[in-house]
Amino acid sequence: MNIRTKLTVIFFVLVIIVVSIISLSIYYFSSEYREKDFYRRLKNRAINTAKLLTRFEEVNASLLQRMERENPANLPQQYVAIYDKANQVLYRSEKESTILIDNALLTRIQQESEVYYHFNEFEVLGFVLKDKENQFIIIAAASDINGRDALENLRDILLGIFAISVIIVSLLGWVFSGKVLSPIARIVNEVDSITAANLELRLDEGNRKDELSKLAQTFNKMLSRLQRAFFAQKNFIANASHEIKTPITVITGEIEVALLQRRTVDYYINLLKSVLIGIKGMNKLSTQLLLLAQTSADTPEKRFSHIRIDDILWSVKDELSKAHTDYTIDIEFDMAISDQTLNTIGDAELLKVVMLNLMENGCKYSDDNKVSVVLGTGKNEITIRFINKGIGILSDDFDKIFEPFFRGRRSKKIKGFGIGLPLAKRIMELHKGKILVSSVPNDTTAFTMVLPFSETI
């Protein structure tokens, strides 16, 4: 069952329930009113009859019977009987009683003062009437032919209206559900028309106030994120292919040239050294690409544990100093720092990658191959600043340097792949931290790692 049919059925059921309740209520209260009104009129007729009989001496039972028969205001098949307190008959409208009257009924009326009940097609009322000297038991009965006919007519009208309502509600429900779902159908058609070739298309957001408009706005935001991710992926693949293809092309060319004729041993040694440098560069690039892919897809949080930042920092310094003997790395500690504030939760190997990248970049892009590392603390956080003096970074490039394969305009002459900073940013995000950058061109550049600290190891 599709949504439109479901909405139609729900709308139909709700309206029919409401119409049914209203119709039944009208019929029930009309029936109650008819009965009470009829008993009221019947009681008034009976009291008037009793007063004529008991208060006027010239009115006897025979005259009263004739007056009752000729009274046009009488109710249909009206019958009135009057008894004294000894249950003796004082008056009857007819010689033969149209209802069953016995001593048990008379006793019950004396006990309860008023009794209402039905006898065949008659509605019967028995009550006690008292005056200053006497007490009478009056029983009145009549058939409410007109009231019942009116009630049956009302029932037929309500049933007819109910039947017509079923048809009208079904049609209106179908039209209503179609109108309600038309914006959704429009959204479906618009979404269906969006492909990888036209990700710039956006949904119509309508009045931007109702729920469907908010759905369209949310979907448009998602499309924007997908578009950025799609283009980033395309650029990533194109740049990665270029970075990998370039050293392969260089290595292939060098080998092909060497094979054109016999060469000296020194030439082959230099060739192998050049090929080795190219292979090491490709190895480093592939390692960084693999790490970037893993941190984007995996959940390294499962490998997190309590670690000390200073231990990782000294380890990175030793490793980098051995690989580049011309690099100078100074590590300073803030005077306010304590053992407790050096603790954090994370993956030591991943944080080592971040520090290695920032420390190596600090040396590589400085004028004197020197970087100063300052370890400090903030409010519930650890800060590590990597400061160097060199060419610096233009302010326009601050956001772009964290995009894969982007390299600042002032760093083109220095060899690199443009993957280290995007990888470092992703790792910091996994650790609920961040990387801040500040730079003055041709002067000081500082990258700051900010990590939350943990008090317990």
Asked whether the whole model's pTM tops 0.75, one would answer no
Average pLDDT over residues 156-182: 87
Q: What pLDDT is attached to residue 97?
A: 73
Environment class of residue 161 by beta-carbon count within 10 Å: exposed (0-12), middle (13-18) or buried (19+)? Answer: middle
- What is the edge-to-edge ordering of all strands in the sheet holding 381-389? 328-333, 370-378, 381-389, 444-452, 434-439
Q: What pLDDT is attached to residue 457?
A: 46
Q: Mean pLDDT across the chain, nearest whole number? A: 81
Stronger pLDDT, 455 or 429, i.e. the higher one: 429
Tokens of 385: 């600043």
Q: What digits encode the pLDDT tens for the residues 306-323?
A: 888 888 889 888 888 888
CB 240 within 8 A of CB 287: no
Span of 185-194, 238-247, 419-428 with lowest mean pLDDT: 238-247
Q: What pLDDT is attached to residue 238?
A: 60
Q: Max Cα separation, the chain?
A: 162
Q: What digits encode the pLDDT tens for the residues 255-299?
A: 888 888 888 888 888 888 888 877 876 776 676 666 656 565 555
Stronger pLDDT, 68 or 156, i.e. the higher one: 156
DSSP 335-389: TT--SGGGEEEE-HHHHHHHHHHHHHHHHHTBSSSEEEEEEEEETTEEEEEEEEE
Average pLDDT over residues 170-186: 83
Q: What digits encode the pLDDT tens for the residues 193-245?
A: 887 777 777 877 777 777 778 888 888 888 887 777 676 666 666 656 655 66
Task: Give which of 35, 55, 57 is closest to 129, Cα–Cα.
Answer: 55
Span of 345-349, 378-382, 413-417 with lowest mean pLDDT: 413-417
Task: Give which of 13, 23, 293, 282 is closest to 169, Cα–Cα.
Answer: 13
Q: What pLDDT is attached to residue 91?
A: 83
Q: What pLDDT is attached to residue 23?
A: 92
Task: Sketch out the chain's domains with CATH numbers.
Answer: 3-151 (3.30.450.20), 211-296 (1.10.287.130), 302-452 (3.30.565.10)
Span of 354-363, 373-382, 408-417 with lowest mean pLDDT: 408-417
Q: What pLDDT is attached to residue 99?
A: 81
* Percentage of the chain lying above the pLDDT 90 cut: 11
CB 435 within 8 A of CB 428: yes
Q: What pLDDT is attached to residue 33?
A: 92
Q: What pLDDT is attached to residue 304?
A: 77
Stronger pLDDT, 384 or 69, i.e. the higher one: 384
Phi then psi for residue 332, to 5 deg, are -120, 150
